[in-house]
Structure 1
Amino acid sequence: MKVLITGAGGFVGQLLAETLLNEEHSVTLVDIFEPPVPRKASAHKQNATCIKADLYSDAKSVLSADLDTIFIFHGIMSAGSEADFDLGYRVNLHSTLNLLEAIRSTCPGVRVVYASSTAIYGQPLPAMPSEATVPTPGSSYGAQKTMIEYAINDYTRKGHINGFALRFPTISVRPGQPTQAASSWMSGIIREPLQGRESVLPCDDDFKAWLCSPRTLIANLRHALTLERGCMPAHIRQVNLPGITADVRGMLKALEEVGGREALGLVKREKPTKEIAEMLDSWPIQFDISKALGLGFKQDDSFKQAVEDFAASLKE
């Protein structure tokens, strides 16, 4: 299979590229900088092509007619796009629309898997929002994701692509450095303390979030490669990926159970800015995921398993 990943220098792009390369697929990695070949896939680096490109101005240059699947992961994260209105729209909306247009003329009908977000939802919401719930985003990031979702629907309806808009939960525990996401602390309060570093917690113990582990996310992205075009109506391609609801109290308990009281003591409380607090409070914390489960997507067993996965990766 020949696969292209945009935003391939980021965490999810690197993890998916590693998985696909180790399965001996041909993978093109694209980002605004030249993305690296994942270290754990170096044995298959001959199957990787790494491209530096600005998709806003030069989307067509990264495409080829023989592509089987395109994963669209590039973007400015939630807090980043809220802080810089122009940049958020340039990257999250306009560059993606330019890419879809380039796909339409270069490799029509190709499978496109778009990384959307539960940030497309905003208050007020029912207790269990589903794909039938009307998006009312409370942030520029959510608005940009919503607009691309509708474009994915329409391009699929017209036969230009075989699109899937997967709404990611917050992914935790992410390795690497903190990001511009408003949810970055949900990984940080685990990742940093398990490495002997302090981390900031901007929420009370009863704050709840909708989370998914990296391992389960990658399994679900791999599953998206197997979905038949007719598994959903051509004009309704959104799927709320499965997550689990975890509160801060439970996250900290998992940290202590895996890393001990010393790790727990490295978590420091801090009040968020008004803008970040409003954004976090606007996100739903539980979803009707019957559609995703019916399509064969999987759910984590517990948040503690994600913490254990990260701790094990540090030993590797």
Structure 2
Amino acid sequence: MEEAPGHLNAKEKEIWGLLMRELGASELKSHKMPRVLITGGAGLIGPLLATRLLSDPSYEVILTDIISPPIPPKAKHPENCKPIQADLCDPSSLKSLIDTSLPLDAVCIFHGIMSSGSEANFELGMKVNLHSTLSLLEALRLVHKPNQPLLRVLYASSQAVYGQPLPAVIDESVFPTPEGSYGAQKLCCETLLNDYTRKGFLDGYSLRFPTISVRGGKPTAAASSFLSGMIREPMNNQECVIPLKDRSFRSWLCSPKTLAENLFHALKLGADALPKHKRVVNMPGIGVSVQDMMDALERVAGKEKLQYLREETDEEMERILRSWGTEFDNSLAYGLGFRKDVSFEEAVRDYVDSLKE
């Protein structure tokens, strides 16, 4: 406790001591563990980050989704996780979620309709990917008080914001021209998050993810789903259809393990790490061809697993896939402290090892 000033008399020093003790107790009462709200809590990315956060007893995690998301089974401190079912497209449900979650230190916006799903159902993609995200940002703006620290917001964007023609190597200076509804919706949200940050409503970063592979679970409506299915399905003795007949086709990939560490790092980035109106980062990945993936599967699991791969052209899927970039300059991300995978084979081994746990 701070010592009383020397000019005070005995009675004044006694009062000083009482005040200092009261202030100390107040500070202890106000101290809390960092609380992070994660949307899309029943998907892939939400549980990945939640598991990483819950490996540390000092974090509190609120997971939300359209269904009540399960607490990640590998969480070391499940008692610090609170699942909440909420429909972010419904104003009353969104308000209830925010009211229940406050006070918050960070919000991770990871919910959404995937690429091919957004293309097939334009209205649903707009409703979930764009309008619900804007409603969430506005709700966060309205609850912010001027005397409070700015809320850290991480937004899950995508390399799908880019469209052809593209240079051989892409960085953040390349103008995004999405060729799909999914990428267009992501780009809209990036722009608004930049402006909310510039205006001082929150402290946001838009993270353009590579394709995540190898994902666990079931196939999704994403055009890139086969990039996990090529490993996941054969390991379950199930068939995976590769939607194009071009083994030289390359994708920009990141493993779940590396993504989780990069997301954890993003939560701790300094508020001044990037200009307030330019808060977009292309997250690190590695370039991998279809043949590279087949070779990695064979080396890790044996040649017999290749029998579960079938190549069959899907023109719409191939159109979406070929609109995406295949090689990125991640200098900005590396400068901010993010990291990349060592190799795709290591990602396959990580996935195979996870099946044994």
- Normalising by the residue count of structure 1, what TM-score does the alignment of the two structures yield? 0.97
**1:229 lines up with 2:271 in the alignment:** yes
Residues 29-55 of structure 1, C-alpha deviations (whole Å, 9 max, x = no match):
0001110101112x5232111111111
* Alpha carbons 2:170, 2:328 under 8 Å: kept: yes
**1:254 lines up with 2:288 in the alignment:** no
- Structure 1 partner of 2:64: 30
Gaps of 5+ in 1: none
> What is the rounded CA distance, in whole Å, between the counterparts of 1:200 and 1:278 in structure 2?
16
**1:121 lines up with 2:162 in the alignment:** yes
Report SS of the residue matched to 2:77. Answer: helix
- For residue 315 of structure 1, report the CA deviation from its aligned partner: 1.1
Number of aligned residue pairs: 314
- Structure 2 partner of 1:205: 247
- Structure 2 partner of 1:304: 345
Residues 158-178 of structure 1, C-alpha deviations (whole Å, 9 max, x = no match):
011100000000000000000
* Alpha carbons 2:52, 2:261 under 8 Å: kept: no
- For residue 280 of structure 1, report the CA deviation from its aligned partner: 0.5
Question: Percent of counterpart pairs with the same letter?
Answer: 54
> What is the rounded CA distance, in whole Å, between the counterparts of 1:3 and 1:189 in structure 2?
33
> What is the rounded CA distance, in whole Å, between the counterparts of 2:88 and 2:310 in structure 1?
39
> What is the rounded CA distance, in whole Å, between the counterparts of 1:289 and 1:60 in structure 2?
37
> What is the rounded CA distance, in whole Å, between the counterparts of 2:152 and 2:350 in structure 1?
30
For 2:69, give the aligned amino acid: P
> What is the rounded CA distance, in whole Å, between the counterparts of 2:54 and 2:269 in structure 1?
20
Report SS of the residue matched to 1:265. Answer: helix
- Structure 1 partner of 2:114: 77
Report SS of the residue matched to 2:302. Answer: helix
- Structure 2 partner of 1:51: 84
* Alpha carbons 1:65, 1:107 under 8 Å: kept: no
For 1:66, give the aligned amino acid: P
| Greater radius of gyration (CA) | 2
Gaps of 5+ in 2: 1-33
Report SS of the residue matched to 1:155. Answer: helix
- Structure 2 partner of 1:93: 130
Report SS of the residue matched to 2:132. Answer: helix
> What is the rounded CA distance, in whole Å, between the counterparts of 1:266 and 1:202 in structure 2?
14
- Structure 2 partner of 1:132: 173
For 1:37, give the aligned amino acid: I
Q: How does 1:130-279 map to 2 (within 5 A)?
A: 130-203=171-244, 204-272=246-314, 274-279=315-320
- For residue 147 of structure 1, report the CA deviation from its aligned partner: 0.2
* Alpha carbons 1:175, 1:191 under 8 Å: kept: yes
Q: Which of 54, 74, 80 is residue 21 of structure 1 equivalent to?
A: 54
Q: Which of 84, 94, 97 is residue 62 of structure 1 equivalent to?
A: 97
> What is the rounded CA distance, in whole Å, between the counterparts of 1:164 and 1:15 in structure 2?
18
For 1:54, give the aligned amino acid: D
RMSD: 1.0
* Alpha carbons 1:125, 1:284 under 8 Å: kept: yes
* Alpha carbons 2:243, 2:317 under 8 Å: kept: no
- Structure 1 partner of 2:28: none
> What is the rounded CA distance, in whole Å, between the counterparts of 1:107 and 1:166 in structure 2?
23
Of stretches 58-67 and 162-171 in structure 1, the one that deviates more from structure 2 is 58-67
Report SS of the residue matched to 2:319. Answer: helix
Residues 148-206 of structure 1, C-alpha deviations (whole Å, 9 max, x = no match):
00011000000111000000000000000001110000000101111222211122211
- For residue 22 of structure 1, report the CA deviation from its aligned partner: 2.2
- Structure 2 partner of 1:8: 41
Of stretches 304-313 and 125-134 in structure 1, the one that deviates more from structure 2 is 125-134
> What is the rounded CA distance, in whole Å, between the counterparts of 1:277 and 1:205 in structure 2?
13
For 1:131, give the aligned amino acid: E
> What is the rounded CA distance, in whole Å, between the counterparts of 2:83 and 2:54 in structure 1?
13
* Alpha carbons 1:104, 1:161 under 8 Å: kept: yes
For 1:129, give the aligned amino acid: I
